[in-house]
Chains A and B, each alone.
Chain A
Amino acid sequence: MRLDRSESVLADAQGECLRPGPFPSPSPGARSAAFSASARPRPGQHAPEARLAPGEMVRVEALSKTFVLHLSGPAVLKALEGVSFSVHAGECLAVAGPSGSGKSSLLRCVYGNYLPSSGEILVRDGNGAVSLSGADPRAVLGLRLRSLAYASQFLRVIPRVSALEIVAEPLAARGAPLAEARAAASELLGRLHVPERLQALPPATFSGGERQRVNLARSLVWPAPVLLLDEPTASLDPANEKVVCELVTEAKRRGAAVVGIFHGREAWSRVWDSVYEMRPPGTGGAPAPRFRGREL
């Protein structure tokens, strides 16, 4: 059964840019066979290319996330249930759904910030793929360095470091000479309307919108193959929102796969290619991605 599915994924992916719908929900028996020790690469190891179709950058299969809060009972909180989708190079998937449907948790799982409780997340890493379900921490860090950029809603940095240095850092960490990294950071911040006099200051005193732009610049300053954006323009004015949409469109054009939460913002409807509608866990799981090419 597993083999059939991978073959159909491969076949479907040949001419199509978008994956036609989620993977069929396998029965528990099939799941355990598909993810058994023999079928699955050792955690954190580069999985065989065959696990991802050509051009496929992110694949999430039957992902569930449950929090067990030991200090409150323990209380068990279901954040995600049966989430499946796939994103190819050059595509943007919008994750939609009401508050509490797990949109942010989903992005965090793909970034390796939350550990999946069950299911599988594969992210392309060069010619291979890294599985984020139970991956070795160093494999996750390596994947982030080479492949993953994540813009959270919060900017978390060492106090006293200037906005320019904060944005230059991801480039410098990937081997760019410091002068080059700073020049690129300054140019990008300029496009995002953070003037040079602000670039020299630590963002502690910045407005919410300015901080968000610094945070976005950090993830857009290097050519990440996969971009994860959590409400990237929630506190931006229309002019800045337009710039961010342009930047993400440029990233798509160079082949980046984008997964984002855009909260029904009109400006983004020209950027995303498909929508993945989420429902709170326990209400029937998440339905198939909707494709604007066919349905809208």
Chain B
Amino acid sequence: MNEKPVLSASRVSCLYGSKAGCLDVSLEVFPGEILALVGESGSGKTTVLKAVSGQLKPSAGKVTYRDGQGLELDVHGLSEGRRRLMLRTELGFVHQNPRDGLNMAVSAGANVADRLLSGGERSYGRARSKALDWLDRVEIARDRLDDRPGLYSGGMLQRLQIARNLVTGPRLVFLDEPTGGLDASVQARLLDLIRELAAGLRLAAVLVTHDLAVARLLSQRLMVMKEGRVIESGVTDQVLDDPHEPYTQLLVSSILDS
């Protein structure tokens, strides 16, 4: 309980012209914890994810990242170079469409090793052996290492993207609908992988999903967004089993079985 958050956002608002992407959103994520943001499309969850991961500068509010040494960094006050380095090494970002997070022109192995090399790894041999190790952990056969990702299935691509993100040992990972668009059996396998990695590595994660069943299985805490604002939050099972806001009740009652 005396732990300090890895990430905190304080009263973050993002305006697109006169339209609000998100309004007055505050959140904290602690080591080893997955925080889920749920809500329907257009509720502002992806905007929040972009703002807290440093990709979109908020119109108001502050985002603070605490690095491995306990140093607090103002994510949007960093120089462009420092911010990019941070995104490549200490943070991970898993996109819904793995093609957005991978370099489709180079081999699967290079996708993983590249991130290490651009994050400061000097030895190509070490990068390759780490890449192999991570392909094992996400259950991609070693003989597929030199294939282009274009030859991979959807589930494999997503596992490759996860390996690419985790190879640098980030402390905080952003997951944007990581299992969206995958069929149920592939999704189950990926959920198990994410859960295992998060627990084993004491990763902190912010998970954006519209799938309440995914949020229930992966996250400890949940925030419900509507029209850019957080309308309800709490322990995940509490919010899903005892929702108080009309909109949350609608969301929960609209799913078949969670």
- Least CB separation from A139: chain B residue: B1
Chain B residues with CB under 8 A of A139: 1
| Mask of A116-140 contacts with B, CB within 8 angstroms, 1/0 | 0000000000000000000001111
We find that the number of chain A residues with CB closer than 8 angstroms to chain B is 24
B246 at the interface (CB under 8 A from A): yes
Contact among B216, B241, B244, B253 for A71, CB-based, below 8 A:
B253
Report how far A57 CA is from B258 CA in the complex, Å.
Answer: 32
Report how far A138 CA is from B233 CA in the complex, Å.
Answer: 12
Contact A70 B242 (CB under 8 A): no
Q: Given that A70-B246, A115-B242 are contacting pairs, would A141 and B235 also be in contact in the complex, using a CB cutoff of 8 Å?
A: yes
Report how far A108 CA is from B241 CA in the complex, Å.
Answer: 10
A33 at the interface (CB under 8 A from B): no
Chain A residues with CB under 8 A of B237: 113
B234 at the interface (CB under 8 A from A): yes
Contact B244 A158 (CB under 8 A): no
Chain A residues with CB under 8 A of B191: 158-159
Q: Given that A113-B241, A115-B242 are contacting pairs, would A161 and B192 also be in contact in the complex, using a CB cutoff of 8 Å?
A: yes
Q: Given that A138-B1, A139-B1, A141-B235 are contacting pairs, would A70 and B249 also be in contact in the complex, using a CB cutoff of 8 Å?
A: yes
* Interface bracket on B: 20 to 34
Chain B residues with CB under 8 A of A108: 241-242
| Mask of B213-238 contacts with A, CB within 8 angstroms, 1/0 | 00011001100000000000111011
Report how far A285 CA is from B244 CA in the complex, Å.
Answer: 24
Chain B residues with CB under 8 A of A142: 1
Report how far A115 CA is from B237 CA in the complex, Å.
Answer: 11
Contact among B192, B221, B235 for A158, CB-based, below 8 A:
B192
Q: How far is the CB of B120 from chain A (nearest CB, A)?
A: 31
Chain A residues with CB under 8 A of B241: 108, 113-114
| Mask of B195-218 contacts with A, CB within 8 angstroms, 1/0 | 100010000000000000000110
Chain A residues with CB under 8 A of B30: 138
A68 at the interface (CB under 8 A from B): yes
- Least CB separation from B240: chain A residue: A113
Chain A residues with CB under 8 A of B199: 172-173
Chain A residues with CB under 8 A of B188: 158-160
Interface centre among B235, B245, B253 (most CB of A within 10 A): B235
Contact A137 B235 (CB under 8 A): yes
B142 at the interface (CB under 8 A from A): no
Report how far A140 CA is from B220 CA in the complex, Å.
Answer: 11
B250 at the interface (CB under 8 A from A): yes
Q: Given that A138-B1, A158-B188, A160-B188 are contacting pairs, would A68 and B244 also be in contact in the complex, using a CB cutoff of 8 Å?
A: yes
Contact B217 A158 (CB under 8 A): yes
Chain B residues with CB under 8 A of A70: 245-246, 249-250
Interface centre among A68, A138, A142 (most CB of B within 10 A): A138
Chain A residues with CB under 8 A of B253: 71
A1 at the interface (CB under 8 A from B): no
B189 at the interface (CB under 8 A from A): yes
Chain B residues with CB under 8 A of A296: none
A90 at the interface (CB under 8 A from B): no
Contact A137 B242 (CB under 8 A): no
Chain A residues with CB under 8 A of B189: 160
Chain A residues with CB under 8 A of B192: 158-161
| Mask of A52-89 contacts with B, CB within 8 angstroms, 1/0 | 00000000000000011111000000000000000000
| Mask of A130-156 contacts with B, CB within 8 angstroms, 1/0 | 000000011111100000000000001
Residues in B lying within 8 Å of A, measured CB to CB:
1, 30, 185, 188-189, 191-192, 195, 199, 216-217, 220-221, 233-235, 237-238, 241-242, 244-246, 249-250, 253
Q: Would you give 25 A-B contacts (Cβ < 8 Å), ordered by A?
A: A70-B245, A71-B246, A71-B249, A71-B250, A108-B242, A112-B235, A113-B241, A115-B242, A115-B244, A137-B235, A141-B220, A141-B235, A142-B1, A157-B217, A158-B188, A158-B191, A158-B195, A158-B217, A159-B191, A159-B192, A160-B189, A160-B192, A161-B192, A172-B199, A173-B199
Closest 10 CB pairs of A and B: A70-B246, A159-B188, A114-B242, A137-B235, A137-B234, A160-B188, A158-B192, A158-B217, A140-B235, A158-B191
For the A-B complex with A142-B1, A161-B192 known, give 20 more contacts whose Cβ atoms are closer than 8 Å.
A70-B245, A70-B249, A71-B249, A71-B253, A112-B235, A112-B238, A113-B235, A113-B241, A114-B242, A115-B244, A137-B221, A137-B234, A137-B238, A139-B1, A140-B235, A140-B238, A158-B195, A159-B188, A159-B192, A160-B192
